[in-house]
Amino acid sequence: MTKWYTFLFAVITLCSSQNSLAQCNGVKGPNILGAKGTFSAPYITVNPAAAACTNSGTNTYNPIGNVGNSLAGCNSTGDFIPCSDYTYSAATGGLVPAFTYSVLKTIGDNNGGNCIKGDWRGRDHTNDGGYFLAVNGAPANTNSPVFYQIKKIPVCIGAIYEFSAWVINLLPATSGSATPGSEPNISFRVNGTQIIANSGAIAYTNTPTWVKVGGSFIAATSTVDLEVINVTSSFLGNDLGLDDISFNVCQSQIAVDGPASSTICTGATISANFTVADINHLNTWYKWQISTDGGAVFTDITPGAQATFTGDSYLLTYNIGVVTPAMNGYKYRLGVSTSQIGLSTPECVYFNDYSLFIGGCGVLPVQLFSFNGRYDAGKAILEWQTSQEINSDRFELLRSTNGRDFNKLASIAAAGNSNSIKNYSYQDNISSDLGSNVFYRLRQIDIDGKASLSSIVKLSLASKTTFDIFPNPFSNNFTISFGAAKTATATLTIQNSTGTLVYSKIIKINKGNNSVLMNNLPSLGKGIYYVAIYNDELKFNGKLQKQ
């Protein structure tokens, strides 16, 4: 299960999309299933034995590598692997009988249909060349209704989870088999008995439309089995696709209110207020933590205790006490969970931080929390965050093609004064004739005209980019550049030469070429370090030197 850090908060030519249900009120953790739910590698790989007509590349509906291998979980002794009770096929006409499925990129479009089932129309939900599950539904009263399942998913007892997926009716409305009452109709089931959502009849349309279906439940066991089941008794016209299955924890909201940096002087006595909102009143257990190295490592200040809700929230105050210059940059964290045991399990804790900045009653500089970029389809997207701003007037975004000579690209107004996270972004329309790389940096300018420069973000303009660290060796900050096939989250770690973990962070990655500025690092001595970025779909490793 992936740890959730709170509050660091397709264009399809053939198929359109629409939402039907939202269960977490817009606030939820990352997809615990990862690549398992998106029909991606390593759980789905190309089937080289598929019938030639399914992936010959002769048309848009049978591209090369069009058919993926079967879901292997049913034949595996391990847990937490996708599986289906239906029969897999990659043959010509292989989806003609009911109670069959295949894993495809596309099965048909405006140009025609694939030979595995020529009258179906549809492609993967995100239209990014990935796979989806194509199913010829069998009568649920004579066959197993389970066409997708994943077992033994670790969860936190007492936490609320959302189980959702996108479903599509693959049979066009013009088909003679598109008869009323035979439409696909699916339900989501937990632990074999608990139905948490139902799609209702997925309508036949001339333009196949992806619909999101989802439901939520409270975990009563430490692991859960999830199933997507067919609830239609008809075999004629009961044809559907399934994609982008998500399993997310629904989090509590924790708001922080503390003194602004401009009011904190050495010797002041301060405190911070944390308000926990939870309409289900489940996250009653809490503890306090502190980090003295900017957030790299947190240690417990207090053992677990229970709070009492007033309405749908409760307020907790942490008394920081008298501050000293040595405490500048300390972080104070409130973590909450549904049980005392959950507080000891990082994956079961929601939290938010208050960062302490001590000014000695002087003007503090802008604190640049992050500066990242990515390149995709002729656009460079630059995004940055500040954790505080004092008398900040504007940011100037600078661009270079050689990493040395920078020119002003744009001016972006700053917040002025702030002690909370502020987000900024800018899109630069560029072409590959600028060279193989483009470089960006920020000039922050105060109201009084004083200016400072950020570190440099390096973006590759190539269609694919390998893992790159710039500069290397580095003094204080460096940029990591890499490519990703999908938008997701990943873990970034730094280890020293002895293999000891010195830094760990969850980062957001975007489809295309990414560039992540590594600043606000803990104190690192001179020497060799090893960087890794990984999730279920990618893994990059690099070596760098601190000088």
- AA letter at 109: D
Q: Residues 110-143: pLDDT tens digits?
A: 999 999 999 999 999 988 889 999 999 999 888 9
Tell me which residues of the chain have a pLDDT lower than 50.
1-22, 360, 362-364
Q: Which element (helix H / strand E) includes 380?
A: strand 379-388
Report how far apart the first and last C-alpha atoms of the chain are (Å, whole number).
37
Q: Which residue has the tokens 């279906």?
A: 213
Beta strands 82-83 and 350-355: pairing type?
unpaired
For 88-108, give one letter per residue: b (16+ CB within 10 A) or e. Answer: bbbbbebbeebbbbbbbbbbb
Q: Which single residue is written with the structure tokens 């696909």?
A: 184
**pLDDT at residue number 3:** 30
pLDDT at 361: 53
505 - beta bridge partners? Answer: 492
In total, the chain counts a number of residues equal to: 547
Cis peptide before 139 (omega within 30 of 0): no
Q: How far apart are CA 148 and CA 132, in angstroms?
A: 12
Cβ(459)–Cβ(514) below 8 Å = no
Beta-strand runs (E) in 231-309: 239-250, 253-257, 269-277, 285-291, 299-300, 305-306
Q: What pLDDT score does 475 carry?
A: 77
The closest alpha carbon to 311, from 278, 284, 343, belongs to 278
Evaluate whether 310 touches 358 at the Cβ level (below 8 Å): no
Dihedral sign (CA 70, 73, 77, 78):
positive
Share of the chain above pLDDT 90, in %: 34
What is the distance between the alpha carbons of residues 254 and 351, in angstroms, rounded to a whole number? 7
Please report the beta strands in 401-538, taking only residues with DSSP state E, as ranges in sequence order: 407-413, 422-429, 437-446, 451-453, 457-460, 468-470, 478-484, 488-496, 501-509, 512-518, 527-534
pLDDT at 27: 63
Q: Report all structural domains of the chain as residue ranges with CATH numbers, in order of start.
A: 16-250 (2.60.120), 273-355 (2.60.40), 367-546 (2.60.40.3080)
CA distance 389 to 387: 7
**Are the beta carbons of 284 and 306 closer than 8 angstroms?**
yes
Pairing verdict, β 16-19 and 209-218: parallel
Q: Tell how strand 87-88 and strand 82-83 pair up.
A: unpaired
pLDDT tens across 176-200, in order? 888 888 999 999 999 999 999 999 9
CB-based contact 372:517 (threshold 8 Å): yes
pLDDT the model gives residue 463: 57
Strand residue runs (E) in 172-232? 186-190, 194-198, 209-218, 223-230
pTM exceeds 0.85 for this model: no
**What is the per-residue burial (b if ≥16 Cβ within 10 Å, else e) of 329-341?**
bbbbbbbbbbbee
Q: Are 223 and 155 in contact (CB under 8 A)?
A: yes
458: tokens are 């390096």
CB 45 within 8 A of CB 93: no
Write down the pLDDT at residue 457: 81
Token pair, residue 11, equals 């264009």
Q: Is the peptide bond before 145 cis (omega within 30 degrees of 0)?
A: no
